[in-house]
Amino acid sequence: QVQLVESGGGSVQTGGSLRLSCAASGAFFSIETMRWYRQPPGEQREMVASITAAGSMHYLDDVQGRFSISRDNAKNTVALQMNSLKPEDTAVYYCNADLFIPVTGLRVFWGRGTQVTVSS
């Protein structure tokens, strides 16, 4: 059973930093693109950052220059370093990844989410 498990959420004050991590486990052949999404209270889920297997990265305009996504292909992990946090970054953050799994092929998986709260 494939799982994505996030860690590293918490509460910080404006200007602070947090680092989120996500680890993939289970039976899969490879991991393609890995992403971080967030869902603020009462709003829709939006993609924050993505990174391909080759290391190509993309960011939501609002986090460009403040957040940094990285991955460790040997450990099947992806991280999101969040600096200069603002109250509007408050959300549940979700890990998302495209995995090649036996029989089915390429599938999208989601983690359960981790809460990030930024107070002013």
The 3-state secondary structure of 17-44, one letter per residue: CEEEEEEEECCCCEEEEEEEEEECCCCC
Strands 57-59 and 67-72: unpaired
Taking only the tens of pLDDT, the chain with its 120 residues reads 899 999 999 999 999 999 999 999 999 999 999 999 999 999 999 999 999 999 999 999 999 999 999 999 999 999 999 999 999 999 999 999 999 999 999 999 999 999 999 999
- 3 state DSSP class of 15: coil
